[in-house]
Structure 1
Amino acid sequence: MLDKNITKELKKLTKRIDSSFYFYDLDKLEDHLRYIVENKDESIKLYYACKANPLSSILKLIRNLGIGIDVASKGELTQVVASGVKSSDIISTGPSKSRGYIRTLLEHEINCVVVESIYQLKWLNEQASEMGIKARALLRVQLEWDSKEKSVLGGDDITAFGLDEKGWKSLDLSEYENVEVIGYHVFQWGNILSASKLEEIWDHTCARINKLAQDMGVRPQVIDLGGGLGIPYQNESERIDFKDINAALVRLKKKHKLEKIWMELGRYAVGECGLYLSQVIDRKNVRGQEILVLDGGINHIARAALTNQAFPCEVLEECESKQNQEFHVHGPLCTSLDKLGVFDLPKDCDYGNWLVFTQCGAYGFTESMPFFLCHNLPAEVVKYKGDIMIPRTIKTSADWIE
């Protein structure tokens, strides 16, 4: 259930904003991140995976707390630099790095480039040589797993992320004189809600990476375990305490004789600070199903269609009915893919009501398909230190279509 004070603010905002919008509680975010930072061992370096939410006000808050930023595109790099993040606090991941993009990363003097292919390693060495510098790099490794589980990051599927152990072992790193390989990066599992399961994955990862490093003659300063820490989209009791994560990482550091562990937190960092609000435009019964059609759908918030897992949902206003029933909630797009989930909502929920989707601080608008059918783009609203700000207002199709 939403906090009463937040509910009051949201009701006011629905009177000011006549279309769907995101709402980020940065006070809640700051408290959450401070708890993480205060309960982190000094040998663990945290980065924020910018892809989760690149809003500048979020980036600036994260910057101020001493957390680094992981960028996965030139656009994210531009946004992060514009938000005042120091070059030494930026690393670059992502399977698609052109020669030109690698040059841009080096020109910005970022901390480290995560190399995901032989071409990337060659281009990094080439560009660093031309610039007269030595570039720091992590080699991204795609491990084979004996698991039938699925993951948005691939799990055991073959993906575009990194190379397998055989691929990296085939190289002679001494040929890349302008690249300093400081360690390895492995990240194949996402949104896990068990600290013990994460420790099991990381334990296996560290053992395999230490063996690979030995075979390659590398003494790794860093193992980057990515993130993978989940947030509870359904069951609130499954929330992970970062103290348990820190304890697991400290145990692994000792067991595998590691110098530094890096982590790139995404949804775990920002997911729970965000809400998405959209108004009910229509209600109908089709072949026995109660259907609500909203102002916004996967054009604003596509995760439900991509992962088949809905964000939690409730009605903003207090309804008269104390009984709930099942509603199938759809967006405005002309495709059956535009479905946000099936929810138990008050029986008298109807057109004009606003629905609130929680846990939307990560993988919200920037993961969506905003231009299909030329509907409005959602506004983004920020609450911080008691102030309400609207860094992005509603944008209509006239703002981008020529």
Structure 2
Amino acid sequence: MDHFLYRDGALYAEDVPVAEIAAAVGTPFYVYSTATLLRHFRLFDEALSGMDHLVCFAMKAASNQAILKTLAQAGAGMDVVSQGEYLRAKAAGVPGDKIVFSGVGKTAEEIHTALTGGIRQFNVESEPEMETINKVALDLGVTAPITIRVNPDVDAKTHAKIATGKSENKFGIPISRAREVYALAASMKGLEVIGIDVHIGSQLTELEPFRLAYQKVAELTETLRADGHNIRRLDLGGGLGIPYERSNDAPPLPVEYGAMVKETLGHLNVEIEIEPGRLIAGNSGIMVSKVIYVKQGEDRQFLILDGAMNDLIRPAMYEAHHDIIPVIEAEPGTEQTAYDIVGPVCESGDTFAKGRMMTPLQADDLVAFRSAGAYGAVMSSEYNSRPLIPEVLVNGDQFAVIRKRPTFDEMINRDTIPEWL
């Protein structure tokens, strides 16, 4: 469920007409719903009720400070994968003891920043990283809390570019080597081993891959405890998918996921961390774009929008589907027509949909890309020297620009010309 609904034929974001936002900020833009963000966070939080747990929002899905502050005030922790994300979380008021640092390439500088600023734990991905964390911690005279990310070699049955739990993926330590790596960690004076981390991929639409991975983690927990390690926290990652196509069967609900977690891990008396991103943010945002031209091709019609692949890259990068709807709803019974929906970037890959059935549209009409709140604005770029588009947050009948569109001068003047030119 989200809070982008038609009222009297006009699309609203909560209690604000989307067309009103478009008139105020121009197109294209992203708009997020506070009510949807909070609802989806609370669904996860409630799904794990009865267990000691923390829901950490995966910031890589959507990292605007207004979104982070909204979730943090509701009790969320943050999962970060870079120094920039860590500093964004701190700037949004998230305390260090609610920030988890993930990622395969943490640098000594990033580790230093987190250890001096406060960190809940590092999710360690390799022995060399472990050695670096240990050295930085010893240099600072502190102890770094860590989990070790194990790769359970489970097929997440998702897109190859967002699968992370198979043996050929770059993430984690093979679960078969876990005992020796944990023994190495225990020998390092600058580290405190507190748990296990696992994450098998994104946009999962079935529970069974999670179940298989968590069963392996449960067995590993018992083994490591027998070896003398105080395993008291399990970080289960994120990955639960959302229904990008409304006609498809819906992925499992958070409550079903929570029941499976309790079934597979509830007997271990551990704290559970989960790191959802897409399911919290995905349906919490839409991208709104305007039709520039309707172009008649040889055998098809093109709907040319002012939004492009640099604004929403998921269709070009992942062949991803987004429902695209008119901001002003057509009259019931209006016959639909097929469009190839494209942007103005000089790439054939700048295509959002082919042969998409839509009610007839014309220049200046507005359309909305549903389920664009995750991996939308955060993955945007200035390709073709197109300025980053605004982000807007709605709360009831109010809206605010939470990232403005830079002017062309602001964008161009970031360049520096050498003195010899």
State if a TM-score over 0.5 links the two structures: yes
Q: What SS does the corresponding residue of 1:265 show, helix, strand or coil? A: coil
| 1:307 shift after superposition | 1.4
Tell me which amino acid in the other structure corresponds to 1:396.
Answer: T
Tell me which amino acid in the other structure corresponds to 1:44.
Answer: H
The answer to whether residue 361 in structure 2 is matched with residue 360 in structure 1 is no
| 1:145 shift after superposition | 3.3
| 1:53 shift after superposition | 0.4
Tell me which amino acid in the other structure corresponds to 1:22.
Answer: Y
Gaps of 5+ in 1: none
- Is the CA contact 1:49–1:264 (under 8 Å) kept in the aligned structure 2? yes
Tell me which amino acid in the other structure corresponds to 2:45.
Answer: V
**CA distance in structure 1 between the partners assigned to 2:256 and 2:127 by the alignment:** 37
Question: 1:186–1:38: structure 2 CA closer, same or farther, 3 Å change rule?
Answer: closer
Tell me which amino acid in the other structure corresponds to 1:98.
Answer: T
**CA distance in structure 2 between the partners assigned to 1:250 and 1:258 by the alignment:** 10
The answer to whether residue 238 in structure 2 is matched with residue 230 in structure 1 is no
**CA distance in structure 1 between the partners assigned to 2:219 and 2:378 by the alignment:** 34
Residue 314 of structure 2 is matched in structure 1 by 303
Pick which of 377-386 and 141-150 moved more: 141-150
Question: 1:155–1:340: structure 2 CA closer, same or farther, 3 Å change rule?
Answer: farther
Pick which of 30-39 and 71-80 moved more: 30-39
Pick which of 292-301 and 41-50 moved more: 41-50
| 1:167 shift after superposition | 4.8
Q: What SS does the corresponding residue of 2:148 show, helix, strand or coil? A: strand
Alignment RMSD, CA only? 2.3
- Is the CA contact 2:243–2:251 (under 8 Å) kept in the aligned structure 1? yes
| 1:119 shift after superposition | 1.7
Residue 33 of structure 1 is matched in structure 2 by 41
- Is the CA contact 1:21–1:379 (under 8 Å) kept in the aligned structure 2? yes
| 1:336 shift after superposition | 1.2
- Is the CA contact 1:19–1:394 (under 8 Å) kept in the aligned structure 2? no
**CA distance in structure 2 between the partners assigned to 1:389 and 1:360 by the alignment:** 18
The answer to whether residue 68 in structure 2 is matched with residue 62 in structure 1 is no
Q: What SS does the corresponding residue of 1:3 show, helix, strand or coil? A: strand
The answer to whether residue 202 in structure 2 is matched with residue 190 in structure 1 is yes
Pick which of 296-305 and 196-205 moved more: 196-205
Residue 153 of structure 2 is matched in structure 1 by 144
**CA distance in structure 2 between the partners assigned to 1:177 and 1:48 by the alignment:** 30
Q: TM-score, normalised by structure 2?
A: 0.88
- Is the CA contact 1:148–1:156 (under 8 Å) kept in the aligned structure 2? no
Residue 278 of structure 1 is matched in structure 2 by 289
| 1:360 shift after superposition | 1.2
**CA distance in structure 1 between the partners assigned to 2:210 and 2:172 by the alignment:** 22
The answer to whether residue 53 in structure 2 is matched with residue 44 in structure 1 is yes
Q: % of aligned pairs identical?
A: 25
Residue 18 of structure 2 is matched in structure 1 by 10
| 1:109 shift after superposition | 1.5
Q: TM-score, normalised by structure 1?
A: 0.92
| 1:143 shift after superposition | 2.6
| 1:170 shift after superposition | 4.1
Aligned residues: 398
| 1:380 shift after superposition | 0.9
Question: 1:99–1:167: structure 2 CA closer, same or farther, 3 Å change rule?
Answer: farther
Question: 1:35–1:165: structure 2 CA closer, same or farther, 3 Å change rule?
Answer: closer
Gaps of 5+ in 2: 416-421
Tell me which amino acid in the other structure corresponds to 1:264.
Answer: E
| 1:189 shift after superposition | 2.3
Question: 1:276–1:363: structure 2 CA closer, same or farther, 3 Å change rule?
Answer: same
**CA distance in structure 1 between the partners assigned to 2:167 and 2:352 by the alignment:** 27
Question: 1:18–1:252: structure 2 CA closer, same or farther, 3 Å change rule?
Answer: same
Residue 315 of structure 1 is matched in structure 2 by 326
| 1:400 shift after superposition | 2.1
Q: 1:327-342 to 2 correspondence within 5 Å? A: 327-342=339-354
| 1:52 shift after superposition | 0.7
**CA distance in structure 1 between the partners assigned to 2:158 and 2:92 by the alignment:** 38
The answer to whether residue 181 in structure 2 is matched with residue 175 in structure 1 is no
- Is the CA contact 1:319–1:349 (under 8 Å) kept in the aligned structure 2? no
Residue 245 of structure 1 is matched in structure 2 by 257
**CA distance in structure 2 between the partners assigned to 1:46 and 1:198 by the alignment:** 20
Residue 83 of structure 1 is matched in structure 2 by 92
